Chains A and B, each alone.
Chain A
């Protein structure tokens, strides 16, 4: 007897509580995705996307350019800029003076990777990472660039990566959403760039595929907690009555949608246990908090969200997306970038390490990066100790770890100014295609017909980045 038969055969008004327990026993099987998906054996079962919103400076973190100091303060040569468009924030500047990074770089790991002093913890896991220095995007401003990164299109209206994945693959855990989003606020002192719910929206896919935001408030999921004055027992009684009455209505009307509703109420009830259990870190040992850093004890922080991401991964959540705000260093870069790194570096590295030591990194893909990079030239006043950098879509650095990404891979070369790609460009669509590939999805085949067209995450583009794939 399957669940549907069970529900339809149940006599009205009795045994619903028992039924819910019965259903609960059944829940680990998850929610199926599309038939035939995955298209081939996946390397990763889930993705953790650590989105650093605002555009972290590749020049000050990963893309070491020791030769820049000799150009310090000199106008960016036209031969480098090659007439490429720049934003309205610097297009009016009389000069575009080159600003070398004030941060020290050193080699790390067996791979001998050059990294900035700002990310000492990342340095410790650097051999686990596949680093791509040549990601490039089409947009030059935040809204279109971050929308492009998440949905494959600069203009709103398309589903986000996570909703494509949950549409295609379904969920491994019926008691948790398959696509979870967490937002943390900047460490930098200057204003943060805004975020938009479309970034985890489902676009033209049905709204049940949209990301569910887990928040640091008393209700990790909107309206999760029972209202004050309603105990668990009281609520159970109410739910049993709703189920009993809906059951009667189902018998009277024969509408299968009512059965679905009954099961959705039960799932809501189970989420009321599974989500608080998930966000309850009281059983995590001190060593874990030490690993993720002091902020991991602070709800809503990036470090805390990293720790939660591991717990979500453990529970089979398919797509886990963090957004950390504050990487938009138009000015005061030395101070604010340092603050951003101080606030995130340890937790980011801890997440990779933690997944690794739990054996989860093999089938969990972790991706780190922003929506674009930053210019080699200074925005605003260039002084010895201070500078800012504008948006740079032509090349920026991202890294991937685990889940089929080739540890130690180093992809792409940029010119001496970190301004143009000289070898192995990786377009955002390429990266998206590759992320889907890790999940066993052929990006050309995961489509949804809307307005007559078979839409996909990568539009009509996207080439797999073979060098990242282990």
Chain B
């Protein structure tokens, strides 16, 4: 409906002029009739299809609307007989009925859908206005403007134009020096020199990559469910560099779609294929792998179709396309190209999903080689067979002699947890299971062990421990997946003693760790809280021994002294609590899940020797004295003990070194970046048509192929991704070049020549300037897909260089400025709003590429939605220093919680390929630029530079205004700013505390030389400047 309204506007009285089938008629048929009379065989009614000339002829009598069945039915006076029928939810407007009537009356001329007809290079029309016209683009546009009775606008002012083109080609504002130089340069080619400079800027590639990242659905996390991190920035950096090198677009496309299949593919060509690994990836527990693998393939098909073909092939995933001549089978034949990646349906738990490419730098590669050879050397010494034999001999000898004995002196209670809660210390302090069902593992640490569930409640008699007197409490444990946990609690009358584990955090290499916490508290709320310096990792076995002499508390882990940090000490010393010890007390919020073994209480602090005995020798000796088959884990523990304590010195040395070297290797490997890439399976999967798109509903088996409506693949070529890629950029392909130039047009002029830049099909918009689109497409191919040349052509056109001021006549006739009677004028994209603030305030760090960064973000945005546990990107750990001031395109993009401030300005979540963004204007945007610390800090920094400018307030205000907008303020604008500065200065000179608070915002140092009151007042003035419509608009 909207489309028609605009088109009829644009065609200036369409109804009086001749109706054009492509422009006026087809869209109506497509939108209102194709659902039942279109390409979908299954949905077709009355065996009539209006996307087919012959079929349609059955309801037409050329030249006679009244005698045409089509017209009779759409204008039928009986509602029930009128088409489209009521149940379709569709209806035709009077204008639409008139258009169809007129079309029939004029002869019902039929044409095939424009986008499938290859573009012809049409000579630009000759136009009278040679003075205005800068290049062929203008001749097309001018001819059209004249037809519509419109005139182009005068050229934009030099500063406006410079700011416009600098944003468009680099995403950044011009610097002062660049503005001055351009203003000074009165040569006729001053502007083309600027364009050449910008095209050569390394920031050009960044600007181009920004658009490509939306299309490629680039993100730093996997997107589904837990949404942990991935590393695709090497791919992103490759894109930037490819644009900067002006890689021909056809090559750019082929490398990304099939670089791995090129002969002798280079590392760079393989990195490029990350394009089709950018889709979301899932590993939700219990999800079905096949379902997601099918989804990844479908995403690749849909993205390829959108990005290169401007085709909504995704609509044919579940059934034949309703509007375009695409069958469901076409979708799956296309899917067959992408169904050959050796990928898993569920993957990515630890970062990149297979297949991925490791990208060590030279130094890393060298060290890795060294480590591998050193490790191989140690492994030679420790020949597994020799070790196994020697260990077996040792074990047999030990078996006869060993007498495992743990310290017994001072033992008050001992729970071996070998199948009961009995006390083996001989004092009958048996524990009791209050609730649940304890499970005893057959192969524990010391004999068997208890696996405690968080619903198991255990009570140990009070006499086992007086935590206010000297004691040792020792136990083996392994903590499972959980939140913060209180394991042991002895609580009475508001006072208590607790041993637990703090809130877990995710540590490097995705290990999840808690701090062990020991706490005494009294009824008055005083506490003594001690926390282990070491991390306790989930899933690992530890021996803990907590000892106290009544005043000082110490901790041993695995027999070694471990650091204890005093976190709270309002209570000066341990206190006694006369109460049973409970494990998982429901009443007190206990919550422990994991393994416990050999829990002992002593009434004295054990000596270092005793603790070593308890943690190291005793369990090994128990194992040695136990006959029977050992589990793998038991054997490994014994093997570790043997190599550390009992083997020959040469082996002991080698084992110790091996452990260290291996640790370094793991560490190094974790530092080497990887990036996901495409690859081919040795034996490719079969691809089937999936009924209703459901992975379980397999139909006909299909081979790779392209939709028949488009030119065929060349004969004699293996139908693989490389063939597809080459087909996409073949000159015969009617879509790729058009779609590509249209999108570059869109980035510059706000709307594409085809507004629906993602859909060149029947339901998409018809091109506003069809000849121009074809000219550009043909020119693009002719130039060798030269992207920079295309940009040069577009930005040097007079159309681009016009003033963007809005004047009444064109505004009425062409509100969206599709005819370009004036220059483009749009709010900047999200990234540029931020980049501009950072750039004009001097904070921007404009280095290119590298891992994504985590700038300021309100606390908790990730955490309140996140899964947590041992996954990355669950907690937002803000960066500091230079990383706060990188360009917005480097901001870490978490799909399920995209960067808040950018999202507010319409940056997408990157779950799917996006060909164009909405441009909204909302109050939440005002709150961002007014209150986000990024902008306050930028304002402060801009203020600081302003205050250092020579001259008085007037000169400084002018300077700052010009920084923000590139132009000088008018007298009346200056007046507003002066008055603001005056009132702000008055406020802060009387309120130094407020000034100080304001200046504290942001981590960059505050200028010590400036008076805080002046700096604060100026900061607010600069905030005003950063919030001007003009500042955030490409004018």
| Chain A interfacial positions (CB closer than 8 Å to B) | 12-13, 85, 87-90, 140-143, 155-157, 183, 185, 189-198, 201, 206-208, 212, 215, 217, 219, 221-231, 233-235, 237-238, 241-242, 244-246, 248-250, 252-258, 260-261, 264-265, 267-268, 271, 331-332, 334-335, 381, 383-386, 390-391, 442, 444-445, 447, 449, 451-453
- B806 — which chain A residues lie within 8 A by C-beta? 253-256
Contact indicator A222/B858 (Cβ below 8 Å): yes
CB distance from B937 to the nearest CB of A (A): 10
- Residues from chain B with Cβ under 8 Å of A141 in the complex: 225, 284, 286-288
Nearest residue (CB) in A for B315 is: A453
Given the interface pairs A194-B226, A224-B931, A261-B1029, the reply to whether A207 lies near B903 with Cβ below 8 Å is yes
Could you tell me the distance in whole angstroms from the C-beta of B325 to the nearest C-beta in chain A? 13
- 359-376 of chain B: CB within 8 A of chain A: none
Which residues of the partner chain B approach A235 to less than 8 Å between Cβ atoms?
930
Which candidate, B196-204, B237-245, B915-923, is the interface stretch facing chain A?
B915-923
- A257 near B805 with CB under 8 A, answer no
Given contacts A197-B865, A229-B996, 14 further A-B contacts (CB under 8 A): A183-B865, A195-B896, A198-B896, A201-B909, A222-B928, A257-B1033, A261-B926, A268-B930, A332-B453, A445-B89, A447-B89, A451-B314, A452-B763, A453-B763
A271-B805 contact, Cβ under 8 Å, with A87-B287, A193-B867: no
Which chain A residues lie closer than 8 Å to B591 at the CB level? 189
In the complex, what distance in Å separates the CA atom of A157 from the CA atom of B217? 12
Given A385-B455, A452-B761, residue A198 in contact with residue B911 (CB < 8 A): yes
Residues from chain A with Cβ under 8 Å of B483 in the complex: 189, 191
Contact present for B998 and A194 (CB under 8 Å):
no
Contacts A254-B811, A445-B89; A191 near B896 (Cβ below 8 A): no
**What are 24 A-B contacts with C-beta separation under 8 Å?**
A13-B972, A143-B282, A143-B284, A194-B865, A194-B867, A197-B898, A223-B927, A228-B998, A229-B996, A229-B999, A244-B976, A246-B1029, A248-B970, A248-B976, A255-B825, A260-B921, A267-B923, A267-B926, A271-B923, A445-B89, A451-B312, A452-B312, A452-B764, A453-B312
Would you list which residues of chain B between 724 and 775 have a CB under 8 Å from chain A?
A: 756, 758-759, 761-764
Cβ-neighbour of B927 out of A206, A224, A255, A335 (below 8 A): A224
Q: How far is the CB of B289 from chain A (nearest CB, A)?
A: 8
Looking at A87, A141, A207, A385, the one whose CB has the most chain B CB atoms below 10 A away is: A207
Are the CB atoms of A221 and B453 closer together than 8 Å?
no
Q: Which residues of B contact A192 (CB under 8 A)?
A: 867-868
Q: Does the CB pair A157–B827 fall under 8 Å?
A: no
**In the complex, how many angstroms separate the beta carbon of A445 from the nearest chain B beta carbon?**
6
Q: A142-B225, A143-B284, A217-B859 are known contacts. Are A238 and B1023 too (CB-CB below 8 A)?
A: yes
Min CB–CB distance B566 → chain A (angstroms):
28
Cα distance A365–B370 in the bound complex, in angstroms: 68
Q: Is the CB of A384 within 8 A of B437?
A: yes
CB A154 to nearest CB in B, in angstroms, measures: 9
B159 part of interface (Cβ distance < 8 Å): no
Residues of the A chain whose Cβ atoms lie less than 8 Å from the Cβ of B807:
254
B1001 CB within 8 Å of chain A: yes
Given that A85-B696, A189-B454, A254-B806 are contacting pairs, would A217 and B858 also be in contact in the complex, using a CB cutoff of 8 Å? yes
Query: Which residues of A are found within 8 Å of B924, using beta-carbon distances?
Result: 212, 221-223, 268
Does B224 touch A at the CB level, under 8 Å? Answer: yes
Taking a contact as CB atoms under 8 Å apart, the answer to whether A452 and B897 are in contact is no
Which residue on chain B has the smallest CB distance to residue A383? Answer: B437
Tell whether B980 is near chain A: CB-to-CB under 8 Å. yes
Residue B699 interfacial (CB < 8 Å): no
Cα distance A381–B438 when bound, in Å?
A: 11
Q: Are the C-beta atoms of A197 and B286 separated by less than 8 Å?
A: no
CB neighbours (8 Å) of B923 from chain A are 264-265, 267-268, 271
B682 at the interface (CB under 8 A from A): no
Q: Is the CB of B922 within 8 A of A225?
A: no
Closest 7 CB pairs of A and B: A452-B763, A229-B998, A87-B286, A229-B997, A89-B286, A254-B806, A196-B896
With a cutoff of 8 Å between Cβ atoms, the chain A residues found around residue B19 in the complex are none
Interface check B860, CB cutoff 8 A: yes
- Partner of B994 from the list A229, A386, A390, A445 (CB cut-off 8 Å) is A229
- Residues of B within 8 Å of A224, CB to CB, are 927, 931
Q: A245-B976, A254-B807 are in contact. Are A207 and B867 (CB under 8 A)?
A: no
Task: Tell me, yes or no, whether B549 is within 8 Å of chain A by CB.
Answer: no
B 975-1008 binary contact with A (CB < 8 Å = 1; else 0):
1110110011001000000111111110000000
Name A195's contact: one of B865, B900, B984, B997 (CB within 8 Å): B865
> What are the residues of chain B within 8 A of A264 when measuring CB–CB?
921-923, 925-926
Bound CA span A142–B227, Å: 13
A88 B912 Cβ-Cβ under 8 A: no
**Cβ A253 vs Cβ B804 within 8 A:** yes
Q: Mark B960-980, 1 if CB is under 8 A from A, else 0.
A: 000000000010110111011
Contact (Cβ within 8 A) A183 B980: no
Closest-CB distance, B606 to chain A (whole angstroms):
33
Residues of the A chain whose Cβ atoms lie less than 8 Å from the Cβ of B276: none
Contact with A156, one of B454, B911, B979 (Cβ below 8 angstroms):
B911
Q: Is the CB of B227 within 8 A of A196?
A: yes
**B residues less than 8 Å from A242 (CB atoms):** 1024, 1027-1028
Q: Which of A189, A225, A254 has the most CB of B within 10 A?
A: A189
Least CB distance from A76 to B in Å reads 17
Could you say which residues of chain B place their CB within 8 Å of the CB of A85?
288, 696
Taking a contact as CB atoms under 8 Å apart, the answer to whether A252 and B805 are in contact is: yes
| Contact, CB under 8 Å: A230 / B897 | no
Chain A residue at minimum C-beta to C-beta distance from B30: A452
Q: State in angstroms the CA–CA spacing of A403 and B284 once bound together.
A: 36
Q: Say yes or no for B846: interface residue by CB 8 A criterion.
A: no
Using CB atoms, name the residue of chain A closest to B894. A197
Most interface-central of B864, B932, B983, B1000 (chain A CB within 10 A): B864
B227: A residues at CB distance < 8 A: 194, 196
State how many angstroms separate the Cβ of A442 from the closest Cβ of chain B.
8
Which A residue sits closest to B869, measured CB to CB?
Answer: A191
- Interface assignment of B493: CB less than 8 Å from any CB of chain A: no
A80 to B821, CA, bound (A): 69
B148, chain A: closest CB distance, angstroms: 19
Selected contact of A241 from candidates B436, B901, B1024, CB within 8 Å: B1024
- Say yes or no for B866: interface residue by CB 8 A criterion: yes
Instruction: Name the residue of chain B whose CB is nearest to the CB of A447.
Output: B89
CB distance from A150 to the nearest CB of B (A): 13
On whether A230 and B998 interact (CB within 8 A), knowing A88-B285, A223-B931, A257-B827, the answer reads yes
Interface assignment of B1016: CB less than 8 Å from any CB of chain A? yes
- Given A208-B920, A222-B927, residue A451 in contact with residue B896 (CB < 8 A): no
Is B453 a contact partner of A386 (Cβ separation < 8 A)? yes
- Minimum CB–CB distance for B445 against chain A, Å: 22
Chain A nearest Cβ from B899, distance in angstroms: 11
Contact residues of B between 413 and 472, Cβ < 8 Å to A? 435-437, 439, 453-455
Complex CA gap A331/B593 in Å reads: 12
> How far, in angstroms, from A118 to B770 measured CA to CA in the complex?
67
In the bound complex, CA of A293 to CA of B1024 (Å): 45
Cα distance A193–B436 in the bound complex, in angstroms: 25
Q: Which residues of B contact A335 (CB under 8 A)?
A: 454-455, 586
Are B288 and A226 closer than 8 Å at their CB atoms? no
Whole-angstrom CA separation of A190 from B865 in the bound complex: 15
Contact of B322 among A207, A231, A265, A453 (CB under 8 A): A453
Q: Of B31, B896, B987, which one neighbours A233 at CB under 8 angstroms?
A: B987
Cβ contact within 8 Å between A197 and B896:
yes
Chain A residue at smallest Cβ distance from B87: A444
Q: Is B280 an interface residue (CB 8 A)?
A: yes
B676 is an interface residue with CB less than 8 A from chain A: no
Check B220 for interface membership: any CB of A closer than 8 A. no
Shortest CB–CB separation between residue A13 and chain B, in angstroms?
Answer: 5
Query: How far apart are the CA atoms of A219 and B857 in the complex, in Å?
Result: 12
Shortest Cβ distance from B754 into chain A, in angstroms? 12
Residues of A within 8 A of B912 (CB): 156-157
Do A222 and B900 touch across chains, with their CB atoms under 8 A apart?
yes
Is there an interface contact between B922 and A234, defined as CB atoms closer than 8 Å?
A: no
